[in-house]
Structure 1
Amino acid sequence: MDKIRIIFVVLFLSVIFSHAEGGCSGNGQISGIPIQSCYERQSSFYMGIQAGDGMFFIDPGKSVQYGGKTYWLRFFVTSASRAYNQIQALAQTGYATRSPVEIIYPNYATTTVTNANAGLNDANCSTNTDNAGNAAYMYCPIQALSILE
């Protein structure tokens, strides 16, 4: 029975420590993170491309609170971005090698948040709703992406 408890504790701690780390720098208090930006360090994530416009996105599997609603966080880079190919290649490399990545994005708590249905831009996070009007995604543009190992 003690062995089973130890196994559960190890598995629980592995999930906690391997998933994600993050923070925001509203006034530049986190070294290396631009003012009014946040970062997420992810060891596991999902990624995809939207068929209609070619937008590349990364889903960290994390929800965030904004305006009293819960949204799923989604990082993106539009196909019109000059860094589109590089960000996509780095994310795919991190995914393929199972290396953690660090994503820097605008701090939605201190910057303007726009309506994703009106279009996305490379400066602001945007929210959208599902067909029933429920909170769906908080889209945040990728300002920088690094492979950590």
Structure 2
Amino acid sequence: MEAGQLTGSGARTAVEWLASVAPDPDACRWEWERNPLGVALLPAGRRWDVLILKAELGSPTLDVLSRLVDRPGPVLADFDDARMGFFVPPGTAGCWVGTGVRGVGVGNWIVVPYPGRAGEGVRWLIAPDGSGTLTDPLLLELAMHEAAAGLARDGGY
């Protein structure tokens, strides 16, 4: 099983948590479960915001973050693994200041894969567990700084 995959009740709990932000959660779940791509378009800014980083910085940031906490919040990778999205508390995107980081918050929507189902395209690197765990923005920022310093040291950033 991939790191981002859930099974059984964990996947159901994650689905309920994610779908709860949809304008019509029942319709969202119904469509999501039948969508051949296994994705839904969900509004950001209600239960989470998403900070999107290029993978060159996102991957080492996730490595650092995984050493700092037992389980970071949900993390997505896009279709070609060029970008990664870190789920953070609502309101974070509106006040985030950082070069090369795109904030997705209130008024924006994000493509979200169905938890527990392997698919092509957008995928979970760390799937939500349904508990509402999100990545602490301060820890994310510290992890980004450490990752950027490591890349600079290695000549890759």
Q: TM-score, normalised by structure 1?
A: 0.31
Larger relative contact order, structure 1 or 2 (CA cutoff 8 Å, min sep 6): 2
Considering only CA atoms, is the larger Rg found in Structure 1 or Structure 2?
1
Structure with higher helix content:
2
Higher strand share goes to which structure? 1
Q: What's the TM-score once normalised by structure 2's chain length?
A: 0.30
